[in-house]
Amino acid sequence: MTIPRRSWRAAGTLVAAAVVGLSGAVLTAGPAAAHTPTWDVTCDEVSLHLTQYNAGVTNEVTVTVDGKDLLPTETFGKDFDKKLALPEHDQPLNVRLVVKAGDGERFSKDETKQAPVCEGTPPSKPTPSPTETKPSETPTTASPSPTGTPSESVSPSAPAAATPSPSSPDLAETGSSSATPIIGGAAVAVLLAGGGIMWSVRKRRTAQH
């Protein structure tokens, strides 16, 4: 039985295509399998082992602890191997690793692990908040202000009513006085008496001549 040449050619083409496909798959999977980011977290240390990265690009690595930088962003090439000491802590810490591969996001890594508390670490005592001591307020006794200065000069009292002296002459009686008729009558009597005396004196003189 004779196989046509065309059939042989077709079979050869299929085999060649399969070989090329397998070679491409191997070449494509090679870089992906080469990126090996491994890291470990203990109670007091972080160990980084980043190997088989693409040395022809710029790769970056960052480590933070509870949001604070433990390892600020550093660049590396093919490998990165480093150990980082954790700060003392009495509570578990959240440690985050971020690796950015320069040859594609699919090779990058963003992972968080927890660092436990080391055995024998005494719990931290809460720091007492300072209390504000207010100075005791001493009540001040206000001295009473003088309401008024006593006047040294005594206000003159009202003058006493003047009492008439017994030796002082009587004041002239006015016409409205009740003694006016009596005085008038006495004056008439004096005039009459005087007239009688004068008359008797003249009569005696006449009798002697």
Look at 118 and 14; give whichever has higher pLDDT.
118
Using pLDDT thresholds of 50, 70 and 90, give the confidence band for residue 53. very high
Residue type, 194: G
DSSP tag of 119: T
pLDDT in tens, 20-32: 444 444 344 444 4
CB atoms within 10 A of CB 115: 21
Structure tokens given for 71 = 């390892």
Rounded Cα gap, residues 127 and 3, in angstroms: 93
CA distance 171 to 175: 13
- Give the total residue count for the chain: 209
Question: Can you give the pTM of this predicted structure?
Answer: 0.46
| Interval 64-99: pLDDT, tens | 999 999 999 999 999 999 999 999 999 999 999 999
Q: What is the pLDDT of residues 101-147, one digit of tens each?
A: 999 999 999 999 999 999 887 766 656 666 666 656 655 555 555 55
144/161 Cα distance (integer angstroms): 43
Q: Helices marked H in 48-109 — which ranges?
A: none
